[in-house]
């Protein structure tokens, strides 16, 4: 997978989810609120695929042999690699999807707690967005 997909696809998920939830909230349409929360959950699933795959793997930077023999003492990099900077963003997307799942459960029970969880989900996913933007500024 190209590195571009690692920082563009989450941005589409985030803003699509937030826009759909906001529309459902303003127009008082429950299906749109649920669809927006499902989009946030899909972002979490995408993040789990990225985190469990080799996309953000440290093996691209140091081999186990270099770590075991401590050969990396000579080559100390002053800057964190770009892919490593994306790691906190993907963790926040997973947390956001858990909050969105709780929001769906409360929405199906017609509880007002839905609003708190969907707002928290949006804020946590926006945190991930700004982590990605910060990482892109260092390129």
Tens of pLDDT, residues 97-135: 999 999 999 999 999 899 999 999 999 999 999 999 998
Residue 18 in tokens: 């937030």
Measure CA 56 to chain center: 13
Q: Can you give the pLDDT at residue 32?
A: 96
As a whole number, the mean pLDDT across the chain is 85
Confidence grade of residue 89 (pLDDT, cut at 50, 70, 90): very high
More confident residue, 51 or 72: 51
- For residue 55, pLDDT beyond 80: no
Residue 6 in tokens: 């690692």
pTM (predicted TM-score)? 0.83
Cβ atoms < 10 Å from Cβ of 103:
28
């Amino acid at each position: 997978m190209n590195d571009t997909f690692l920082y563009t696809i989450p941005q589409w998920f985030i803003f699509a989810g937030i826009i759909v939830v906001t529309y459902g909230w303003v127009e008082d349409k429950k299906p749109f609120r649920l669809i927006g929360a499902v989009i946030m959950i899909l972002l979490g699933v995408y993040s789990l695929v990225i985190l469990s795959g080799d996309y953000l793997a440290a093996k691209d930077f140091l081999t186990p042999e270099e770590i075991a023999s401590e050969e990396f003492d000579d080559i100390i990099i002053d800057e964190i690699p770009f892919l490593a900077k994306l790691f906190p963003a993907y963790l926040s997307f997973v947390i956001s999807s858990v909050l969105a799942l709780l929001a769906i459960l409360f929405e199906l029970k017609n509880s007002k707690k839905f609003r708190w969880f969907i707002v928290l989900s949006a804020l946590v996913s926006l945190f991930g967005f700004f982590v990605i933007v910060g990482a892109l500024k260092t390129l």
